[in-house]
């Protein structure tokens, strides 16, 4: 199966300050690795066309977006202690957001069943009214809204295996039943949310599922979570599309966390989700590169992830 690959590394518009871990360098070698590997023949590069981005205002407050624009256009600065903006960062964030919507449209049109989007700046920590954790616009939440608002789907599954909890995505859908948000993450750890007791509220109760993993958790711990709970829950939910917030920073070689996954874990987790997508979602999967700060382990993990996405 061919999969689509979007590359928006934004090296010119969103360059990292010296020494900052979130830079294009963490992603670029991984993409070069897979595009020179044996699986490259089934990877088709997508050059996304600009699309209307008004849907971003359902995910983020207009005042926040104007503040982010003002910081960038004023010469750059920080939205919080570690979320930087360069003069071109707002434009880069909006281009990455547009690409997320374009990817949803491409999947729904049948151009691709599965797309992997490597875009910067990342997004899953971005809250409705503020950016944080290197994240400016929540592309995961935006893609889910695009499936719902532009294509009338009503059951979207989001699985976030970034080592940091996807607080912004969780909070956006916390009171809704049309999106099932599932997260596996180191806990206690940044950003502090993601306890197992956080299960949703009101109509959304039971549609948030957190797996707070202690430091030192390994492949077997994640496999149990999928096999004993996540897969059965998704079988009951029967999603019409699957979104993966695919951070590779839970790898044991990543410098910013203490989970001990090997790259084989990304094979297994992806295989479970392709099985769900093939059964209930017509194969539809949109995966976003989020965290991951060791170029070497990112490359091996991304290879395994994309190889499984290609499986028919």
pLDDT digits (tens, 9 = 90+) for 255-290: 999 999 999 999 999 999 999 999 999 999 999 999
pLDDT digits (tens, 9 = 90+) for 53-62: 999 999 999 9
pLDDT (average), residues 65-69: 98
Superfamily of domain 3-310: Histone deacetylase domain (3.40.800.20)
**Confidence tier at 185 by pLDDT (50, 70, 90):** very high
Q: What pLDDT, on a 0 to 100 scale, did the predictor assign at position 299?
A: 98
Q: What pLDDT, on a 0 to 100 scale, did the predictor assign at position 1?
A: 87
Contact 181, 158 (CB under 8 A): yes
Is pTM beyond 0.75 here? yes
Q: What pLDDT, on a 0 to 100 scale, did the predictor assign at position 103?
A: 98
Residues in the chain: 312
pLDDT (average), residues 4-32: 98
| Catalytic annotation present for 164 | no
Q: What pLDDT, on a 0 to 100 scale, did the predictor assign at position 121?
A: 98
Instruction: Identify which of 293, 276, 295, 294 has the alpha carbon closest to the alpha carbon of residue 284.
Output: 276
Mean pLDDT (the chain, rounded): 98
- Please determine, for residue 312, whether its predicted confidence score (pLDDT) is greater than 90: no
**Confidence tier at 14 by pLDDT (50, 70, 90):** very high
Catalytic choice (125, 164, 165, 172) = 125
28-35 and 295-310 are packed helices; what angle lies between their axes, rounded to 10 degrees? 40
Q: What pLDDT, on a 0 to 100 scale, did the predictor assign at position 87?
A: 98
Q: What pLDDT, on a 0 to 100 scale, did the predictor assign at position 240?
A: 98
Spell out the domain ranges in the chain. 3-310
Q: What pLDDT, on a 0 to 100 scale, did the predictor assign at position 126?
A: 98
pLDDT digits (tens, 9 = 90+) for 198-211: 999 999 999 999 99
Rounded Cα gap, residues 91 and 244, in angstroms: 24
Contact 98, 53 (CB under 8 A): yes
pLDDT digits (tens, 9 = 90+) for 215-260: 999 999 999 999 999 999 999 999 999 999 999 999 999 999 999 9
């Amino acid at each position: 199966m061919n999969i689509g690959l979007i590359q928006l590394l934004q090296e010119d518009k969103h360059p990292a300050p010296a020494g900052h871990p979130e830079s294009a360098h963490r992603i670029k070698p991984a993409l070069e690795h897979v595009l020179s590997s044996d699986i490259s023949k089934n990877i088709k590069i997508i050059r996304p066309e600009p699309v209307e981005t008004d849907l971003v205002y359902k995910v983020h407050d207009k005042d926040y977006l104007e503040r982010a624009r003002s910081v960038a256009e004023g010469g750059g600065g920080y939205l919080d202690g570690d979320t930087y903006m360069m003069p071109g960062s707002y434009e880069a964030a909006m281009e990455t957001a547009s690409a997320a919507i374009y990817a949803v449209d491409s999947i729904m049109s049948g151009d691709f069943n599965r797309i992997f989007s490597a875009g910067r700046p990342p997004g899953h920590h971005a809250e409705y009214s503020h950016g944080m954790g290197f994240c400016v616009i929540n592309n995961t939440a935006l893609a889910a809204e695009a499936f719902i608002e532009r294509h009338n789907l009503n059951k979207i599954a989001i699985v976030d295996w970034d080592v940091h909890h996807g607080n912004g995505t969780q909070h956006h859908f916390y009171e809704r039943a049309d999106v099932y948000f599932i997260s596996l993450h180191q806990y206690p750890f940044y950003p502090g949310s993601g306890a197992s007791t956080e299960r949703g509220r009101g109509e959304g109760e039971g549609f948030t599922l957190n797996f707070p993993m202690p430091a030192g958790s390994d492949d077997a711990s994640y496999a149990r979570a999928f096999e004993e709970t996540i897969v059965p829950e998704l079988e009951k939910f029967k999603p019409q599309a699957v979104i993966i917030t695919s951070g590779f920073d839970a790898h044991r070689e990543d410098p910013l966390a203490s989970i001990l996954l090997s790259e084989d874990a990304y094979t297994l987790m992806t295989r479970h989700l392709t099985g769900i997508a093939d059964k209930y979602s017509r194969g539809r999967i949109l995966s976003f590169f989020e965290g991951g700060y060791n170029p070497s382990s990112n490359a091996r993990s991304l290879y395994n992830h994309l190889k499984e996405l290609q499986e028919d």
